[in-house]
Amino acid sequence: MIELYTWGTPNGRKISIALEEMGLDYAVHPINIGKDDQFAAEFLAISPNNKIPAIRDGETSVFESGAILMYLARKSGRFLGPEGSAQYWRTLEWLMWQMGGFGPMLGQAHHFLRFNAGVSEYAENRYFTEAQRLYGVLDRQLETNRYVAGDELSIADMAIWPWASRFEFQRIDLNDYSHVRRWYLELAERPGFQRGYAQPTTDQAIPMP
């Protein structure tokens, strides 16, 4: 049984969605970041950066969402492709794209556009412009691919989709990115994505464009 320590954020939802799609047994331990649960000594022992999500699997603990997704893909034998294959490397490319850009930059967009609007016009313009650029990159990729890394669902989709689900925080209209919208709605219909999105609380519905 995998122990998942998480909260209802894009990074947290990556892992609950992956666990659901992979059919792995897991138990959820809510870490309420609004109450600073992430700074508890017990959580620090498995997540040295005081960030959710983290997992414990027997004697193994893993933190950082990208590393967790790779661990779970290898454990389940699903959603990554054979090691060294073209699918494997394409999936890792887009996973790293999310970890290095689509997540951090959209996180800054949330900070300045949603939670601190009016504090810095420069920051709002900078991160909104970058959000638009990143959605453009994703839209072009999805124009010729059903899923982000090709014809098969992968952990790259599971990493990117929860951040796209915060499109309203980013002031992004998915109707401006027709291929992203098509992909987003298709994944939103998957029961695994729906169950994963609802962890660790069920009080938030998947946003619809």
Per-residue tens of pLDDT for the chain, all 209 residues? 999 999 999 999 999 999 999 999 999 999 999 898 899 999 999 999 999 999 999 999 999 999 999 999 999 999 999 999 999 999 999 999 999 999 999 999 999 999 999 999 999 999 999 999 999 999 999 999 999 999 999 999 999 999 999 999 999 999 999 999 999 999 999 999 999 999 998 778 999 99
Q: Tell me, yes or no, whether 62 and 103 share the same domain.
A: no
| In-domain check, residue 13 | yes
Q: Give pLDDT, residue 202.
A: 76
Shortest CA distance to 15 belongs to which of 144, 161, 118, 127?
161
| In-domain check, residue 152 | yes
Q: Give pLDDT, residue 201.
A: 84
Q: Tell me, yes or no, whether 63 and 125 share the same domain.
A: no
CATH code of 167's domain: 1.20.1050.10
Q: Tell me, yes or no, whether 183 and 109 share the same domain.
A: yes
Q: Tell me, yes or no, whether 154 and 108 share the same domain.
A: yes
Q: Tell me, yes or no, whether 68 and 92 share the same domain.
A: no
Of 48, 79, 110, the residue that ends a domain is: 79
Q: Tell me, yes or no, whether 55 and 104 share the same domain.
A: no
Q: Tell me, yes or no, whether 25 and 114 share the same domain.
A: no
Give the Cα separation of 194 and 7 in Å (integer): 15
Domain ranges, residue 43? 2-79
Q: Give pLDDT, residue 36.
A: 86
| In-domain check, residue 59 | yes
Of 29, 61, 79, the residue that ends a domain is: 79
Q: Give pLDDT, residue 204.
A: 85
Q: Tell me, yes or no, whether 20 and 93 share the same domain.
A: no
pTM: 0.96
DSSP string, 164-201: HTTTTTTT--GGGSHHHHHHHHHHHTSHHHHHHHT-S-
